Every structure is written in structure tokens, then in C-alpha cells.
Amino acid sequence: MLQTVQFPRRLFNPVYFHIQKYLNDPTVRRIMTFGSSSAAKTYSIAQNLIIDGGLVNKYNTLAFRKESSNIKDTIKNDFDEIISRILGQHPLDTLFRKMDMEFRTSFGNVIRLRGLDTSGKIKGVKGFRKVYLDELDQFTFEDWKELNRRLRGDINQQIIASWNPVSENHWIKVSFIDKVGWTDEPKEIEGNPYSKLDDMSYVRRSDDGRTILIKTVFQDNKWVVGGQVGDVTYGRRDEQVIADFKEMELIYPYDYYVYGLGEWGVIRPDTPYLSNYVDDIHYPNQSFGIDNEAVTWFSFDFNHTPTTCGVYQIRPKIGVIRVKEFEVNGGTRNLCQTIKGDPEIMAIDKLLWNITGDSSGNSYTSSGGDVNDYKIIKEELEVTDNQFINTGGVNARHVYSRRVNDEFLYKIPFYMDASCVSLRKDFQKAKPDDHGKLYKDRGKGYAMDQMDNHRYFVHALCPKGTESINELKRFFLE
């Protein structure tokens, strides 16, 4: 009879424990893990599938990669190493039998590795309780839908996936993650200090409770940065890997954004909407803070899902600073309440506030009932009529707006606070359509909500276009 074996917690990274927690939650259908490179996503998932599936609950697991040809050089190596390193001691060394594309246990269950070269192969999931998709970004949305439909017939069947977020236009984000509401879960499992994730990581549960989304970064890998809990030091610090990330941040900041910070990548267009946008200049990746004595503009865009607002301050001898941005679902009233809940914003003297935004805010149909969006703003934020600037009439034509906004970037010292990542992404990926207008397609990741509130702000600040921009330029040069 096999004796009970307890693995020390110091053998595992924090993300291992979060995956372990949800593997045994019968309400969870999907566990989706993404983030930076060197975050041990695949390794931690493989550890769980070997220990939980192979030894504890003894179920069958099917692990997919898109192509069969690279399985032996990727996930099979991880499974081999884990079995050899963690389970390679008596009495566990005889429990797994390694074969060409699978691992069999003495209990009769199996971990099978397979390539999904054709969608027809997805049919062979019967009899497996867990199905793992390694590098989910290589699979198609049809693959994903087919697996979700076919995985059935056993208790606690789950789909597990991992990937690097190389493009925010990928179907994973656009067709799944962005269509689901999410709620944050604890970053540390109660009673287990080894489970604490880095500040840049998170765990979220979908509103229906069926999907867990985990973001993890290389700082969670204690075999890269080293780990310490109390007096216990574990893992190791790999100075070469850390130096590689520092070099990437300095020389290849876009790569670092994806592979170092684990943020969704942006595919930049060949012909940008605003040719004078320069990421290193306009997004210096620093905090500008809030100046309680600066003229402050609030610029709104009135889509219901989401409703957005960009907050700008005019700083003499510095420039125009976008200090904050807000984005909420549920309409203008919800957005205003979120703004009112920000103590830094509310500390600014309201006499210094200016309000602008989309002209549709004057429409009674945009908000419903007998009020419009600007009346809601007036009521919620307690501002006066003379604080509303350029909110009447119609919005500037897109072609004209493009020209004015591009000239604004060229002539005016304009900067975004490090927190304004949504507008930064819009700047990076914005492109013109066939008629020179701002291309928009919400379903493909081109909603452009933050770009729109920015355009409205520029037109309110510079109502005469080039003439106003030149006046503003002289103001900052004085």
C-alpha cells in the first residue's frame, strides 16, 4: 500500500496553488492562465495535472498543442522533468511509466499528449476529465468552441489553458474575455503565504462563476527572482534572466510590455491614424500626480458599455497632461459615481473644472427618460452650466478631427500619466478607414472609446483648430 506523501510548499510557485484550488472546484469549468514569459505557467499547470490527476484524484488528462511536431521539445519536456525531479524519489518513482506521447500511472490513469493539427482530432476527448491547451493563442476560436461543446460525460470536467498575450486583437480577448464580466479573487490563499502573487498579477472569476482568469508575471517565478517566506528561502535567483528582462525594458519596451509585464500586445498599423504620435514622448511611463490648483478638464464619451472619461490638466511650463482615465459599464451615472469616489479628483477645486465630450450627450435618447447625459453630469458632479465647454452642436468631422489632433500632438507638449494605458493602446493601434475616418469595429478590438473622448477634449481646448493650437503653443513657450 502506498504511503501518504506530502510535498513541501517551497517546491512550488504561487500560481501553482491557485490552479490547485480551482481544479477541485466543481463550479469552475475553465481555468485560463496568461502573462509574461518565464512565469512558469505551463510548468505549474503540468505540476498540478501530474499530482492532482496522476496521484490524488486519479483521472485522465489530455494535453494539446496546436501542432504535433513540437510536443516533444515543449510540454513533454516539462512533464518529464517534473516526474523526474518531484516524483523521482521512492516510493513515487515507480508510479509513472513514460511512453512516447503519454504517461501512465500504476493506478491505470493516463496523461496523454496530442497535437491538434485538424479540428477533427478534438473529438477524442471522451474519457478525459481535464483537457489542457498549451499556447492557446495558437488555436482558433472554432477549436475553442468545439472543445467547450464536446467535453462532457464526467464529473468536474475542465478546460485549462495558458498563453502569452501577444495581441489584444486576438479572439481570446475580443471574443471571450471582453464579453464576460469579471470579479477579483484573492491574490493569496488564506493560510498559505507561499501562494501570494505579485502586485502585477491577479486572479479573476467570471460573473457566472464558471471561468477563472489568472494573470501571472515572471516575478511570480521563484526560480527566477528567488523566494522568501518568513525565514524560509527557496527557489533561486537567476541573474542572467533578470538582466535579460532589464535589457528588454530598456531596448525593446514594446516586447517588455508583453513578455515582461504580461500585458496585451498591440499590433501597430502600417498607416497610423495620428502620424505624430510617438510612444516614448507622449507616454513617458511616469506618474504626473494631481495638481489641485490646475485647470482640469473632463472629457466624456457616452457609449453605455463602456462609458468613458479622460481627465486632463493644464500645467504651465510643462504641458497638457492626461492625468487619469475612467471606464465603466452601465452608463453616465455609474461613471460619475466612480469619479466621485476618487479622492484625488474630488480634492481639486470644482471652480477649476471644465466639462466636454460627445455632442450626443445632449440627446434625450442617449440616456433614456427625460434627462440627457450632460444633465446627469451636472446633477452628479454638481457643476454649473458655464462649466460645460463645446458640448452643443455636432462633433467635428472625422477627417478634420484627424488633422487637428495630429497637429496638436506635433505642436503641444502633451503627456499621458502611466495609468492611462487605455488611451495609449488606442493611440498605438488607431488607423484610418478607407475614407480617412477613424476606423472602428468593436468586435475586432477597435472600439476607440478613449480615443474619442481625447478627440473631443482637443476640439474643446482648441475650438479654432490650428489658430487655437498656435495660441496654446505660445502659452507654453512663455
CATH number of the domain enclosing 151: 3.40.50.300
- pLDDT score recorded for residue 83: 82
Q: Which three cell numbers stand for residue 465?
A: 483648430
Examine residue 45 and state whether it is found in any structural domain, yes or no.
yes
Examine residue 308 and state whether it is found in any structural domain, yes or no.
yes
- pLDDT score recorded for residue 393: 78
46 closest CA partner among 96, 119, 107, 106: 96
- Residues with Cβ within 8 Å of residue 297, at least 6 apart in sequence: 311, 312, 313, 314, 353, 354, 355, 356, 389, 457, 460, 461
Instruction: Report the C-alpha gap between 276 and 295 in whole angstroms.
Output: 25
For residue 416, pLDDT beyond 70:
yes
Q: How far apart are the first and last CA of the chain?
A: 85
For residues 70 and 159, the model is more confident at: 159
Burial 174-209 (b: 16+ CB within 10 A, else e): bebbeeeebeebeeebeeeebbbbbebbbbbbbeee
Do 216 and 293 lie in a common domain? Answer: no
- Of all helices (H) and strands (E), which one includes residue 458? helix 449-461
345 closest CA partner among 317, 309, 302, 390: 309
Return the bridge partners of 474, or none: none
Q: pLDDT band for position 60 (50/70/90)?
A: very high
Taking phi first (over 0 means left), then psi (-120 to 50 degrees means alpha), and beta for anything else, what does residue 357 get? left
Do 196 and 283 lie in a common domain? Answer: no
- pLDDT score recorded for residue 92: 62
DSSP string, 81-116: HHHHHTS-STTSTTSEEE-SSEEEETTS-EEEEEE-
Return the bridge partners of 314, or none: 295, 320
Examine residue 133 and state whether it is found in any structural domain, yes or no.
yes
Instruction: Report the C-alpha gap between 303 and 305 in whole angstroms.
Output: 6
Q: What is the mean pLDDT of residues 449-477?
A: 95
Q: What share of the chain is helix, strand, coil (3-state, %, to 5)?
A: 40, 20, 40
Examine residue 234 and state whether it is found in any structural domain, yes or no.
no
Question: Phi and psi dihedrals of 84, rounded to 5?
Answer: -75, -40
What is the longest distance spanned by two Cα atoms in the chain? 86
- Name the domain boundary from 175, 192, 221: 221
Do 214 and 341 lie in a common domain? Answer: no
Do 168 and 285 lie in a common domain? Answer: no
Lowest-pLDDT choice from 4-8, 139-143, 336-340: 4-8
For residue 120, pLDDT beyond 80:
no
Which of 304-308, 342-346, 392-396 shows the highest mean pLDDT? 342-346
Examine residue 241 and state whether it is found in any structural domain, yes or no.
no
- pLDDT score recorded for residue 384: 97
Burial of 435 (0-12, 13-18, 19+ CB in 10 A): exposed
Q: What is the mean pLDDT of residues 28-39?
A: 97
Q: What is the pLDDT of residues 257-278, one digit of tens each?
A: 899 999 998 777 888 999 999 9
Do 212 and 283 lie in a common domain? Answer: no
- Of all helices (H) and strands (E), which one includes residue 470? helix 466-477
Do 137 and 284 lie in a common domain? Answer: no
Q: What is the pLDDT of residues 311-322, one digit of tens each?
A: 999 999 899 999
The residue behind cell 474619442 is: 452
Burial of 62 (0-12, 13-18, 19+ CB in 10 A): buried
Distance between alpha carbon 439 and the CA centroid of its chain, in Å?
Answer: 22
Do 193 and 332 lie in a common domain? Answer: no
Interhelix angle 449-461/398-411, rounded to 10 degrees, is 70
Do 308 and 195 lie in a common domain? Answer: no
53 closest CA partner among 85, 77, 87, 88: 87
Do 37 and 169 lie in a common domain? Answer: yes
Strand, helix or coil at 134? strand
345 closest CA partner among 310, 395, 305: 310
128 closest CA partner among 42, 71, 59, 211: 59
Examine residue 255 and state whether it is found in any structural domain, yes or no.
no
For residue 3, pLDDT beyond 60:
no
Examine residue 459 and state whether it is found in any structural domain, yes or no.
yes
Q: Are 63 and 135 in contact (CB under 8 A)?
A: no
Q: Are 253 and 154 in contact (CB under 8 A)?
A: no
Stated length of the chain: 478
For residue 73, pLDDT beyond 90:
no
Q: What is the mean pLDDT of residues 367-386?
A: 89
Residue 465 is part of a domain; what is its CATH number? 3.30.420.280
Q: What is the pLDDT of residues 78-105, one digit of tens each?
A: 888 888 876 666 556 678 888 888 899 8
For residue 66, pLDDT beyond 90:
no
Total of domains in the chain: 2
- Which residues form the domain of 354? 279-477
Do 177 and 31 lie in a common domain? Answer: yes
Strand, helix or coil at 299? strand
- Name the domain boundary from 183, 201, 221: 221
Instruction: Report the C-alpha gap between 18 and 277 in whole angstroms.
Output: 40
Task: Compute how many other C-beta atoms are within 10 angstroms of the C-beta atom of residue 377.
Answer: 26
